[in-house]
């Protein structure tokens, strides 16, 4: 073991994590528990099935499709075809905010639409009920669009949501009805649902409105879902910098914006995991390049703005971006100067979704804190190791299950925004076009990277590292806090936020300061404080279901 209790030998930790598992399980889990080396970047096993019986953090394909990608667009009526539970438990739990222009504008986010499938529908089929529900939603709201989401029983009994959607679309004439085969079991996690959602939005929405958009520097913001108002802060910054946001995918978005999004000249991608498919497809069909950005962290926000200005290669824009940074940064700096002495040297662990476990490390770095271990719930190898590994990723049966759209350049609308030579020149300047280098390159040597962390492993990690803060979600929150470690929810932000951009960074610093310096945690006796520790690893704490 290392001498510092916060930084134990990662190979010992790895052994500790898997030693209680049956041999086969241990062997499998070992491939997802990696000691990082940013120079070499070892291979991580990711996007594979969770071992049955292991308590995972993951969600389902339906959650990724309906909840994540489609949920934030305010004027689509999203009907869930399935039992009511699938709707009820997905109803407004993801905090994607939206802001209508006027009180009269459509906003269906607060509603919960479900076909409320019963046993009778499972036995005799649910298509009739689905069509009735579509009709009812149409009669009540006259929305521009209705999307149908399939839950597990729908796929099992074979209801054809696409045929039902088509029939109703043709019947109405003025309402775009389309369906998603996003049954919960479609993939190994919600990641499958993202891909299915990307395909559907691309097929049924993008490119429907060819009205030329206005603005000198037009871009779409992909993979930003406006959790806790994050997109509002990015919109503020874009506006200040003179950038025109055509559409976000999909925080605070509308159907019209998505339908017109192919008129933008650049796609910037914040959450690579959930929407990289869209970036690629829009590039192929319309000639719009994409760039990875992150507006999580003040430094990252400044860097992302500079990247965008570099892409458009306009001196005025570059000057404006510098002016924005010069105006925003001092306010951020003032807060950091005050907080840093209290947060410096503390440690964090992040186990969230498919992009935040990476992005939020930047905010912790700004606070002088070290990320000792991190991982995603459902990311793929490219999110860990970088997109260079894409050709070497094995397409297993679970991935084959998800449709890959065959996309070709549009005969009329394909218009490469940059020539090959221009793209090359940008790359030479260090701009990563259509690329993402992943989380591991940024993490320190010997930090621990764990994919699809199990509940048992999270308890073990906390016991060994005793981090000053653990970042995950509501399912983990109270278990971790009962261990005497504050948990920051990085999905819902513990009802705080926004955390993006410059103002968001300040919010985050203050929230983390409050959490890691709160004396209440010292009043809780964590299990390892009740027993004697040997070599930094307590022998006293055991997950309740594991026996010696």
Q: Which residues bind ligand CFM (CB under 6 A)?
A: 64, 68, 94, 190, 223, 225, 227, 271, 273-274, 352-356, 491
**Cα–Cα distance for residue pair 298/320, rounded to 1 Å:** 17
Strands 537-538 and 533-534: antiparallel
CA 178 to chain centre: 24
Contact 10, 17 (CB under 8 A): no
User: Could you tell me the CA-to-CA distances from 6 to 1, 253, 379, 434 in Å, in that order?
Assistant: 11, 43, 27, 37
Closest CA to 88 of 112, 62, 60: 112
Non-local CB neighbours of 121 within 8 Å, separated by 6+ positions: 115, 129
What is the DSSP secondary structure assignment for residue 398, as one 8-state letter?
H
Identity of the residue, 64 or 375, whose beta carbon is nearer to ligand CFM in the bound complex: 64
Identity of the residue, 227 or 288, whose beta carbon is nearer to ligand CFM in the bound complex: 227
**Cα–Cα distance for residue pair 155/245, rounded to 1 Å:** 37
Catalytic residue, from 63, 197, 309, 379: name it.
63
Non-local CB neighbours of 530 within 8 Å, separated by 6+ positions: 540
Contact 272, 475 (CB under 8 A): no
Q: How far is the CB of 478 from ligand CFM (least distance, A)?
A: 18
Q: How far is the CB of 192 from ligand CFM (least distance, A)?
A: 11
Q: How far is the CB of 372 from ligand CFM (least distance, A)?
A: 19
Identity of the residue, 117 or 231, whose beta carbon is nearer to ligand CFM in the bound complex: 231
What is the DSSP secondary structure assignment for residue 67, as one 8-state letter?
I
Closest CA to 309 of 167, 462, 431: 431
| Residues, the chain | 548
Please say if 60 is a catalytic residue.
Answer: yes
Q: Which residues pair with 472 in a beta bridge?
A: 489
**Cα–Cα distance for residue pair 157/172, rounded to 1 Å:** 27
**Cα–Cα distance for residue pair 84/44, rounded to 1 Å:** 37
Identity of the residue, 131 or 273, whose beta carbon is nearer to ligand CFM in the bound complex: 273
Catalytic residue, from 6, 14, 49, 94: name it.
94
Identity of the residue, 87 or 320, whose beta carbon is nearer to ligand CFM in the bound complex: 87
Q: How far is the CB of 225 from ligand CFM (least distance, A)?
A: 4
Q: How far is the CB of 356 from ligand CFM (least distance, A)?
A: 4
Q: How far is the CB of 491 from ligand CFM (least distance, A)?
A: 4
Strands 266-269 and 218-224: parallel
Please say if 99 is a catalytic residue.
Answer: no
Nearest residue to ligand CFM on Cβ basis = 353
Written as six digits, the tokens of 473 are 């979600």
Is 479 buried (19+), middle (13-18) or exposed (0-12) by CB count in 10 A?
Answer: middle
Please say if 194 is a catalytic residue.
Answer: yes
Catalytic residue, from 169, 194, 359, 380: name it.
194
Catalytic residue, from 60, 90, 357, 379: name it.
60
Identity of the residue, 354 or 484, whose beta carbon is nearer to ligand CFM in the bound complex: 354
Q: From start to end of 448-525, where are the E strands? A: 448-450, 469-472, 487-489
Identity of the residue, 177 or 505, whose beta carbon is nearer to ligand CFM in the bound complex: 505
Q: How far is the CB of 352 from ligand CFM (least distance, A)?
A: 5
User: Could you tell me the CA-to-CA distances from 218 to 210, 231, 261, 298 in Å, in that order?
Assistant: 15, 16, 9, 23
Identity of the residue, 143 or 354, whose beta carbon is nearer to ligand CFM in the bound complex: 354
The catalytic site residues sit at 60, 63, 94, 194
């Amino acid at each position: 073991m290392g001498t510092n209790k916060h930084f134990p030998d990662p190979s010992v930790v790895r052994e500790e994590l898997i030693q209680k598992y049956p041999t086969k399980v241990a062997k499998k889990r070992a491939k997802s528990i990696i000691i990082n080396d940013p120079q070499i970047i070892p291979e991580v096993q990711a996007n594979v099935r969770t071992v049955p019986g292991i308590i995972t953090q993951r969600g389902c394909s339906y959650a990724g499709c309906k909840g994540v990608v489609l949920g934030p667009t305010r004027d689509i009526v999203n009907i869930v075809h399935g039992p009511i539970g699938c709707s009820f438990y997905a109803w407004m739990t993801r905090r994607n905010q939206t802001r209508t222009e006027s009180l009269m504008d459509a906003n269906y986010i607060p509603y919960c639409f479900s076909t409320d499938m019963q046993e009778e529908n499972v036995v005799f089929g649910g298509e009739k009920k689905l069509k009735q529900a579509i009709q009812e939603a149409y009669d009540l709201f006259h929305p521009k669009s209705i999307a149908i989401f399939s839950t597990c029983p729908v796929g099992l009994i074979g209801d054809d949501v696409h045929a039902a959607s088509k029939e109703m679309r043709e019947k109405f004439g003025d309402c775009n009805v389309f369906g998603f085969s996003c049954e919960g079991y479609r993939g190994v996690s919600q990641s499958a649902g993202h891909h299915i959602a990307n395909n559907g939005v691309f097929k049924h929405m993008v490119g429907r409105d060819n009205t030329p958009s206005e603005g000198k520097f037009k871009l779409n913001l992909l993979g930003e879902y406006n959790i806790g108002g994050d997109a509002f802060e990015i919109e503020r910054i874009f506006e200040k910098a003179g950038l025109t946001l055509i559409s976000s995918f999909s925080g605070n978005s509308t159907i019209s914006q998505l339908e017109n999004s192919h008129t933008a000249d650049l796609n910037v991608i914040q959450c690579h995991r959930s929407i990289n498919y869209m970036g690629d497809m829009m590039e192929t069909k319309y000639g719009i390049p994409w760039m990875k950005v992150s507006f999580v962290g003040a430094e990252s926000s400044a860097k992302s703005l500079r990247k965008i200005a570099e892409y458009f290669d306009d001196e005025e824009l570059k000057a404006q971006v510098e002016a924005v940074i010069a105006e925003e940064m001092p306010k951020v700096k003032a807060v950091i100067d005050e907080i840093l002495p209290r947060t410096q040297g503390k440690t964090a662990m992040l186990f969230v979704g498919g992009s935040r476990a990476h992005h939020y490390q930047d905010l912790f770095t700004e606070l002088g804190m070290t990320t000792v271990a991190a991982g995603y719930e459902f990311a793929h190898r490219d999110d860990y190791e970088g997109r260079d590994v894409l050709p070497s990723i094995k397409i297993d049966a679970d991935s084959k299950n998800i449709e890959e759209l065959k996309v070709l350049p549009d005969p009329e609308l394909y218009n490469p925004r940059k020539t090959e030579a221009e793209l090359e020149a940008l790359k030479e300047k260090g701009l990563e076009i259509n690329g993402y280098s992943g989380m591991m390159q940024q993490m320190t040597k010997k930090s621990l990277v764990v994919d699809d962390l199990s509940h048992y492993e999270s308890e073990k990690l906390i016991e060994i590292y005793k981090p000053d803060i653990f970042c995950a979600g509501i399912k983990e929150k109270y278990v971790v806090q009962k261990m005497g470690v504050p948990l920051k929810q990085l999905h819902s932000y513990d009802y705080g936020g926004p955390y993006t951009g410059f103002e968001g960074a300040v919010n985050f610093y203050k929230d983390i300061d409050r959490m890691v310096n709160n004396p209440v945690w010292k009043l809780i006796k964590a299990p390892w404080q009740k027993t004697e520790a040997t070599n930094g690893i307590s022998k006293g704490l055991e997950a309740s279901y594991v026996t010696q």
